[in-house]
């Protein structure tokens, strides 16, 4: 088999046992290639180039064997198919040595071809790109995978000073401007040395020909330049060819790979979807400068605002800026820049956009909020400015229709956990952290049970609000919603309880937790008036208890706002009922709940709210339909409040969350001027707009 001339082809060492393996790899690479094409799509522009280039370059790979070079070193592992790797993704990557040639690329290719042909026979695989291997002594690198190149320093020292200084300082990976080149050798983090441009320029051209050479694209071959055993002279060229694999123009081109290149209309389509959805991406630009309005209607859309912005942007700028040049760090000096091609970036952006299109409004909260606010602002501007900024929502972003929804989390009966199912287009769902298992309520302490209940009810509440947000006018939906709300209300288990049982009462326990208060606060707007009033009654009845429990947390004010709403809709009689709760005497304390409330922010706010409502009702002249004794109770209450207010030392009086404006007029109605004046000072409310100094 080893019929080839001079070069020592250690067939047995090479591939005897690995032949089938390499064959598999070749097949894999082809499959990967196909997959890549299907995923990323084939550039229309580069299609022809591909035809010529994909075939040619891999076969005539620049990283070819150089028959003359004998002193190559391998890590004692079988080399890979260079060609196969270049073409495709190359799953496995045992270190293969590359050899720099000393001639220009093109010449190399031809030479390489000849050499390959010679060697084709000896090689069982018939693969011209298969490297020859030479045994070498085990290196530090092979022993310890964490060490990259133990001889970097020594190799670099071989270079003449001239070489080093010629290096473009801007090309260095770190602190380009501050560290002079020769110092950088000491920095072990710098693994690559950028070289001055080679003399041959047609190499560059060849290389730039197609930025999207399929042969090189997507190849995650971040091969560091392996300098071991290479002569310094060959280094520059080697590096050049090295970077050829990165599909970047390297140090020598005036263009950077992605910046200057006018983006082409990229065709993107995902696997299963039919090719009929073959439309341009939204930032396909430039060439026509037109908007692509012809989008099939069955495609999902982005938020209309988003689309509008995208159209605007599309009109403004056509180029796809993938890298923003920084002052010191110029991408063109970075040989590995542009590893991720435009196309790949577009693809990722596309997937991200697809993720944005979700039914669930909780996803991408910031994105949704941003656009809502933007819309409101624009709407406002329109109203104010009168400018017509409204553009018809354009369907400029053709995206793949989400074919079918799937269960992101699969529960297999009897299993301990959940199996997450996801596609690469909907990765988020894989980490759905919804708690499916129902917690046993019997176990655990009171508090633990209360906490579990709160969590469960909160989830239900969120669902209700979700329904609400959908804003469906269908009556069945409304009924469903009221049903759900009713269920939550029932689960709260609000019932009368005496003061001894306060600690045990389920609803009160819920209210002792901040989240429970939040739950109640959010639930209140959805409840029927009787239910909401019942909650208010319960809270007022147990106000001292709640206020005491709230001392560390101070979260009662959460309830103020919804309760205020409830109070604002109450009838006079109901109002009296609630007030009576506050004015009743307590068995265990000399203080009235009322008095205690004055010292608590929530309490005083609630009190004021109730009084304000009463005053509002009385002064509104609507028929009140009071029960017998209501008015007396009312006046008694007002007097009581006034008395307590005047007696409570100012230091203990807490400022309310909101001070209703009609309180003074209320007091005026029943009390003498002096007292009112006194109270006014105490409450620190602004005097009535009537004659100064006496308001009444």
The binding site for other proteins (CB under 8 A) comprises: 146, 148, 173-176, 178, 188-192, 220, 222, 224, 283, 306, 309-310, 313, 317, 321-324, 326, 328-329, 331, 334, 336-340, 344-345, 348-349, 351-353, 355-356, 364, 366-371, 424-425, 427, 431
Choice between 299 and 688, CB closer to other proteins: 299
Q: Identify the CA nearest to 335 among candidates 421, 224, 227.
A: 224
Nearer to other proteins (CB atom), residue 297 or residue 316 = 316
CB of 416 to other proteins, least distance (A): 16
Provide the minimum distance between the beta carbon of 240 and other proteins in the complex, in angstroms, as a whole number. 18
* Integer Cα distance of 686 and 605 in angstroms: 17
Q: How far is the CB of 272 from other proteins (least distance, A)?
A: 17
**Residue 189: CB minimum distance to other proteins, A:** 4
Token digits of residue 642: 């006034």
Nearer to other proteins, 125 or 339 (CB): 339
Give least dist CB 359 to other proteins, A: 17
CB of 176 or CB of 660, closer to other proteins: 176
What distance, in Å, lies between the first and last C-alpha atoms of the chain? 118
From the list 88, 91, 92, 93, the residue with the least C-alpha distance to 32 is 88
Distances from the Cα of 7 to the Cα of 68, 107, 663, angstroms? 8, 20, 104
Torsion of CA 102, 103, 104, 106, to 10 degrees: -120
Contact 250, 240 (CB under 8 A): yes
> What pairs with residue 280 in β-bridges?
267
What whole-number distance in Å separates Cα of residue 30 and Cα of residue 108? 25
Find the shortest distance in angstroms from Cβ 223 to other proteins: 9
Q: ∠ CA 98-101-104 to the nearest 5 degrees?
A: 130
Q: Is 85 helix (H, G, I), strand (E, B) or coil?
A: helix
Which residues have a Cβ under 8 Å from the Cβ of 221 and sit 6 or more positions away? 85, 86, 90, 93, 245, 246
Distance of closest approach, residue 408 Cβ to other proteins, in angstroms:
15
Nearer to other proteins, 224 or 495 (CB): 224
Reduced to 3 states (helix: H, G, I; strand: E, B; else coil), residue 103 is: coil
Strand partners, 419: 410
For other proteins, the closer of residues 39 and 482 by Cβ is 39
Q: For residues 159 and 362, what is the distance between their CA atoms, to the nearest angstrom?
A: 59
Looking at the Cβ atoms of 70 and 174, the one nearer to other proteins is 174
Alpha-carbon distance of 206 to 457, in angstroms, equals 67
CA angle 30, 129, 46 (to 5 degrees): 50
What are φ and ψ of residue 409, in 5° steps? -120, 120
Nearer to other proteins, 19 or 190 (CB): 190
In the bound complex, what is the minimum distance in angstroms from residue 179's beta carbon to other proteins?
8
DSSP per-residue letters across 214-278: TTTTT----PPP--TT--TTHHHHHHHHHHHTTTS-GGG-SS-TTTTSPPPPPB---TTS-GGG-
User: Minimum Å distance from CB 2 to other proteins?
Assistant: 35
Instruction: Tell me the CA distances in angstroms from 649 to 206, 547, 611, one per residue in order.
Output: 90, 19, 21
- Phi first, then psi: give them for residue 569, nearest 5 degrees: -115, 5
- Shortest spacing between CB 327 and other proteins, in angstroms: 8
Strands (DSSP E) contained in 278-430 are 409-410, 419-420
> Shortest Cβ distance from residue 378 to other proteins (Å)?
14
Q: What are the tokens at 525?
A: 């707007």
CB-nearer residue toward other proteins: 146 or 383:
146
User: Measured from the CB atom, is 312 or 646 closer to other proteins?
Assistant: 312
Helix (H) or strand (E) holding 410: strand 409-410
- Smallest distance from the beta carbon of 533 to other proteins, in angstroms? 41
The nearer residue to other proteins, 366 or 620, going by C-beta atoms, is: 366
Q: Which is nearer to other proteins, 314 or 609 (CB)?
A: 314
Closer to other proteins at the Cβ: 13 or 367?
Answer: 367
Q: Which residues contact 294 (CB under 8 A, 6 or more apart)?
A: 279
We find the least distance from the C-beta atom of residue 188 to other proteins, in angstroms, to be: 5
């Amino acid at each position: 088999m080893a019929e080839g001339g001079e070069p020592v082809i250690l067939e047995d060492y090479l591939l005897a046992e690995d032949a089938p393996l390499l064959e598999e790899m070749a097949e894999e690479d082809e499959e990967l290639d196909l997959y890549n094409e299907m995923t990323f799509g084939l550039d229309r522009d580069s299609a022809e180039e591909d035809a010529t280039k994909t075939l040619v370059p891999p076969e005539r790979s620049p990283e070819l064997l150089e028959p003359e070079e004998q002193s190559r070193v391998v890590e004692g592992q079988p080399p890979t198919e260079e060609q196969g790797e270049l073409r495709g993704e190359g799953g496995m990557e045992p270190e293969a040595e590359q050899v720099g040639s000393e001639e220009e690329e093109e010449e190399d290719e031809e030479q390489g071809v000849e050499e390959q042909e010679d060697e084709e026979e000896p090689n069982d695989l018939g693969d011209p790109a298969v490297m020859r291997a030479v045994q070498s002594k085990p290196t530090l690198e092979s022993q310890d995978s964490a060490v990259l190149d133990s001889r970097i320093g020594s190799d670099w020292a071989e270079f003449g000073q001239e070489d080093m200084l010629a290096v473009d300082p801007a090309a260095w990976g770190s602190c380009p401007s501050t560290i002079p080149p020769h110092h950088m050798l000491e920095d072990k983090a710098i693994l690559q040395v950028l070289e001055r441009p080679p003399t041959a320029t047609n190499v560059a051209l060849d290389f730039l020909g197609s930025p999207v050479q399929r042969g090189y694209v997507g190849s995650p071959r971040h091969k560091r330049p392996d300098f071991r055993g290479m002569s310094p002279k060959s280094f520059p060229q080697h590096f050049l060819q090295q970077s050829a694999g990165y599909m970047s123009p390297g140090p020598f081109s005036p263009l950077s790979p992605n910046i200057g290149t006018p983006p082409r209309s990229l065709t993107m389509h995902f696997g299963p979807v039919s090719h009929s959805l073959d439309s341009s991406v939204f930032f396909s630009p430039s060439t026509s400068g037109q908007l692509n309005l012809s989008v099939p209607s069955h495609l999902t859309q982005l938020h209309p605002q988003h689309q509008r912005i995208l159209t605007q942007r599309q009109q403004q700028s056509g180029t796809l800026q993938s890298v923003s040049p920084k002052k010191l760090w110029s991408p063109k000096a970075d040989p590995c820049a542009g590893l991720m091609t435009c196309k790949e970036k577009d693809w990722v952006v596309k997937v991200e956009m697809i993720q944005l299109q979700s039914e669930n409004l909780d996803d991408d909260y910031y994105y949704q909020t941003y656009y809502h606010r933007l819309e409101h602002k624009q709407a406002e501007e329109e109203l104010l400015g009168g400018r017509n900024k409204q553009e018809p929502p354009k369907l400029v972003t053709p995206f793949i229709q989400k074919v079918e929804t799937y269960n992101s989390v699969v529960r297999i009966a009897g299993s301990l956990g959940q199996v997450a199912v996801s596609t690469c287009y909907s990765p988020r769902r894989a980490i759905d952290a919804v708690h499916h298992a129902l917690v046993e309520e019997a176990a655990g302490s009171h508090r633990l049970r209360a906490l579990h209940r709160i969590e469960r009810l909160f989830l239900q509440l969120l669902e209700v609000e979700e329904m609400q947000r959908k804003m469906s006018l269908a009556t069945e939906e409304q009924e469903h919603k009221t049903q759900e709300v009713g269920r939550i209300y029932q689960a709260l288990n609000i019932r009368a309880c005496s003061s001894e049982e306060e600690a045990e009462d389920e609803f009160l326990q819920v209210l002792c937790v901040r989240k429970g208060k939040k739950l109640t606060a959010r639930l209140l707007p959805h409840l029927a008036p009787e239910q909401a009033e019942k909650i208010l009654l319960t809270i007022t009845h147990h106000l001292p208890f709640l206020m005491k429990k709230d001392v560390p947390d101070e979260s009662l004010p959460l309830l103020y706002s919804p309760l205020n709403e409830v109070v604002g809709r109450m009838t006079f009689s109901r109002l009296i009922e609630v007030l009576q709760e506050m004015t009743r005497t307590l068995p265990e304390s000399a203080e009235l709940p009322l008095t205690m409330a004055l010292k608590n922010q929530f309490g005083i706010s609630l009190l004021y709210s109730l009084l304000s409502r009463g005053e509002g009702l009385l002064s509104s002249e609507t028929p009140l339909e009071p029960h017998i004794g209501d008015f007396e109770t009312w006046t008694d209450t007002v007097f009581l409040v006034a008395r307590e207010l005047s007696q409570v030392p100012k230091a203990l009086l807490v400022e309310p969350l909101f001070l209703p404006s009609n309180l003074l007029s209320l007091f005026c109605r029943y009390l003498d001027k002096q007292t009112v004046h006194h109270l006014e000072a105490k409450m620190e409310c602004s005097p009535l707009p009537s004659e100064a100094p006496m308001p009444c």
